[in-house]
Amino acid sequence: MAILGLVKGVPLWLSASIVTACNAMVFGMDTSTIGPVTTMDSFVKTFGEFSSTMHGVIVSSILLPGVLAALVAGILADRYGRTRMIAIGSVVFGLGAVLEAASSQLGMFIVGRLIKGVGEGIFLSTVYVHVCEISPAKVRGIIASIPQFMITLGLVAGFFISYGTAGLQGSISWRLPIAVQAFLAFANAALCGLVPPSPRWLFAKGRPEQARTIIAMLGLDDEEQAELLTLAVSGLEHSPDLSFWHNLRQTAIEFREAFSKPFRARTVFGCFIMAMQQFSGIDGYAPILLQQAGVSSSQASFLASGVSALLIMAVTVPATLFADRWGRKTSTLVGGASIFFLMLLMGSMYAAGEVHADSGAGRWVVIVSIYLFALVFNATWAIGIRAFLIESLPRKTRSSGASLGQGSNWLANYVVALTTPVFISSSSFGAYYFFAFCSLFTTIVCALFMYETKGHSLEVIEQRYLERQVRSTGRWRPNIQGFRMRRLRASEG
């Protein structure tokens, strides 16, 4: 922490957010590596031939433990601290990657992926929460997008490492890309020691002086510091002084409470948009889609996927910089409409019989549309939806709400990853139509129920929800005295 704070000209909230976000990079590397690795000849020689269904199981096995770990990530983060759990999650991921890279049996490889899933479930949603909590409101959209940029950087690195090792002799060709993931995960865990803990967590742990010191060091403006000092003392959803099992039982009760008034709408909507991210088809296993369109050889598939990753990274940079100009709702609606059009176009080309693997303009329309779809998604839905999820959640349930959202995202991802290969083999156009109309439905729902959160502090966003509740019901049970006091001070100022 001290080292990060001494970087001249760089505020602590920025340097700490970047280091925290680096933990998300290995998630992108795994996503981009698993497809190419499992289609390498050396991988098949090591483990033998397997069906497309088993291929789907191998690819998606990381997701179910990720869902379960994500559901308790909020408890762990509130009890042990955001930064500590991010580091532990990265270490667990690294251990799973080591087991994968050393595998001699397919079962051992799958166990390694299950362990990696636990690590991802612990650190990924916590990374976004921590970054949002320490960044200024005026640029929170940009800062909250840094983890997504790191994921795309991991996509690029993973694709090209796999492409570079594909020509190596023996099993090192598939083991090396996974070993690199392990090294980076352990390095990220070590760097987490430089990141300051959340001031809110420190207040709840009864360490107010350290919390005030960190708030002063972060580099926030005076108004935001005052808001943080006033409201953070109210504590966390899960008391850090209670046992883990007590918190686990309490969380089950709180999850049930999250689906009752007055939190039901926010919980359901957050889980909905996070799940529908996946039902747009973004993790529908791009190499299969490209091979279906005529990119037949494994080497060509690796290269095409790498080009896609490069384009995604290139578009993520301006999308990140403009995140707080566009806003969350605008990017979600524009992205949803574009995704619907591209998926409908590709499905219609296949349904009309215009796509031929060896010739014709139809295959190029589909290939270009796949690239465009990836660009649009990562410039809009990947950034705006996740930022909105964290921003829209109330302080009381931010950790658990983020865990529920991440869990619903990975559960949907599991379904998509497991079924897309089978779906594509049984119908050339059905999957595209399914993704298209899921995206259209999501866009319509967001147009009706999503509201803009850009440029507001987390406390002001919560206040707006409270005021909406008051207008709709005429009453509100939770204590909003803190908001009234802040309003009074603002009017007196």
Neighbour count for residue 481 (Cβ, 10 Å): 8
Half-sphere exposure of 39 (CA within 13 A, CB side): 22
Give the separation between CA 457 and CA 237, rounded to whole angstroms.
Answer: 19
pLDDT score of 439 more than 90: yes
> Averaged over 31-47, what is the pLDDT?
89
What pLDDT, on the 0 to 100 scale, is given for residue 397? 67
Q: Are 148 and 386 in contact (CB under 8 A)?
A: yes
**CA atoms of 98 and 116, how far apart (whole Å):** 10
Task: Give the residue with greater pLDDT, 315 vs 25.
Answer: 25
The CATH code that applies to domain 2-461 is: 1.20.1250.20
Say how far apart CA 142 and CA 314 lie, in whole Å.
15
Lowest mean pLDDT among 159-168, 207-216, 299-308, 351-360: 299-308
For the chain, the domains span: 2-461
- pLDDT tens-place string over residues 258-313: 676 777 778 889 899 999 999 998 765 556 666 676 665 555 555 556 777 788 88
> What gap in Å lies between CA 196 and CA 201, rounded to an integer?
11
Q: Which burial class, exposed, middle or buried, applies to 337 when counting CB atoms under 10 A from its CB (0-12, 13-18, 19+)? A: middle
Of the two residues 9 and 443, the one the predictor is more confident about is: 443
- Percent of the chain scored above 90 by pLDDT? 28
How large is the average pLDDT for residues 163-186? 93
Number of helical (H) and strand (E) elements in the chain, helices listed first? 25, 0
Residue 218 tokens read as 């972060």
Average pLDDT over residues 178-197: 95
Q: How far is residue 457's CA from residue 225's CA, in Å, rounded to a whole number?
A: 11
Global pTM value: 0.74
Q: What is the pLDDT of residue 250?
A: 67
The SS3 call for residue 169 is coil
Largest CA distance in the chain: 74
Q: Enter the tokens of residue 3.
A: 């080292």
Task: Please report, as a single letter, which amino acid is at residue 314.
Answer: A
Structure tokens at 221: 């403006």
Buried b / exposed e over 344-381, threshold 16 CB at 10 Å, is bbbbebbeeeebeeeeeebbebbbebbbbbbbbbbbbb
Ranges 134-138, 232-236, 258-262, 452-456, most confident = 134-138
Type and span of the H or E element at 297 = none
The one-letter amino acid code at 437 reads F
Name the residue with higher pLDDT: 401 or 216: 216
pLDDT-based confidence at residue 251 (cuts at 50, 70, 90): low
Phi, then psi, of 457 in degrees rounded to 5: -70, 160
**Range from 123-127, 258-262, 434-438 that averages highest in pLDDT:** 434-438
- Give the confidence band of 150 by pLDDT, cuts at 50, 70, 90: very high
**Closest to 65 in 3D by CA, of 31, 93, 38:** 93
* Alpha-carbon gap, residue 365 to 387, rounded angstroms: 32
Per-residue model confidence as pLDDT tens digits over 213-243: 888 888 877 777 776 676 555 555 555 566 6
Query: Residue 220: how many CA atoms within 13 Å on its side-chain side?
Result: 24
Q: What is the pLDDT of residue 478?
A: 44
In terms of Cβ atoms closer than 10 Å to its own Cβ (0-12, 13-18, 19+), residue 25 is buried
E-strand ranges in 221-367 read none
Residues in Cβ contact with 393 at an 8 Å cutoff, skipping those fewer than 6 apart: 266, 270, 401, 402
Nearest 5°: the CA angle 33, 328, 227 is 110
Least confident of 86-95, 251-260, 275-284, 330-339: 251-260
Looking at residue 344, what is its pLDDT?
95
Q: Which residue has the higher pLDDT, 193 or 490?
A: 193
Q: What is the mean pLDDT of the chain?
A: 81
